[in-house]
Amino acid sequence: MDIKLGFGSIPKPQYVFVSKESDHCWYMLSDDAKQIPIYDRALTGVITEIEVNKIIETSQGKSEKTDLHILADKPYIVRSGSESYFSKSLLLSLDALSYEQLLQPLTIAVSPGEKAIVFCTIYHPMTYRSVGVSWDGHKEIDWQVLGKRVSLKINGKKTVTSDTRKILNNEINAEIRADFISKTDAYLSQLNWTPQQGREYLQQKYGKKSRYHLSETELVDFVDYLKLQLALSY
């Protein structure tokens, strides 16, 4: 990033706000608080920090936001509502990336959904491949825990509270579970099972509605069952 000598704008981060409009999904604010549409669908840079569940005073009162700090041609802060699909898909994607991958430039892209929904998709700019995430069972995800885990991975070790210790102690188990969940995604897809078929089997076999509710033993058993069904289908 080049430093321009002489007069210029104040060197402060540029906020980018996520909002679905008719022809764009995010915007900036001018000095007189007017919206400046951003028609580009992607921002590429290095993620330097994330602030999850940040309390912000707005004209409608207090609101929880997620602020993603990105260093590109200048520092940017992408702000979205903590409960928005953008924030949730952002957290799912960041959780799927390794610490080493997070040190490299990444592309943050906006994708319009139905009504006012905007999704976030992260791409590897060198390979053009997106970070694959699954929304199956997202209603059962503890977003507070996921947000803390992503914050720890990106922001590094800070003050270690009792909650932080619990997250760190469970991180390896969480990664193993995530790997098994990913395997079930692949096997279910190859078997052409619908989400409804999966839920019915889990309810009948384990008395549970989601893979995220399975114990470690049950999850391993479910993976083995799917592998066997796949082998029998050939």
How does pLDDT run across 186-198, given as a tens digit for each residue? 888 889 999 888 8
Tell me which residue of 42, 64, 44 sits closest to 54, measured CA to CA: 64
Q: In what order do the strands lie in the sheet with 118-124?
A: 35-38, 26-29, 14-18, 75-81, 61-71, 42-58, 106-112, 118-124, 129-130
Residues 6+ apart with CB under 8 A from 199: 209, 210
Longest dimension (CA), the chain: 72
Q: pLDDT tens, 100-158?
A: 888 889 999 999 999 899 999 999 998 889 998 877 777 788 898 899 889 988 887 44
- pLDDT one-digit tens code per residue, 196-224: 888 899 999 999 888 888 887 888 888 88
Structure tokens that stand for 122 in this block: 């992260």
By DSSP bridging, strand 35-38 and strand 118-124 are unpaired
* pTM greater than 0.95: no
DSSP secondary-structure letter at 27? E
pLDDT(84) > 70: yes
Nearest 10 degrees: Cα torsion 181, 186, 187, 189: 120
Confidence (pLDDT) at 229: 84
Question: What pLDDT digit, counting tens, does each position of 3-16 carry?
Answer: 678 887 788 899 99
Q: What is the pLDDT of residue 109?
A: 96
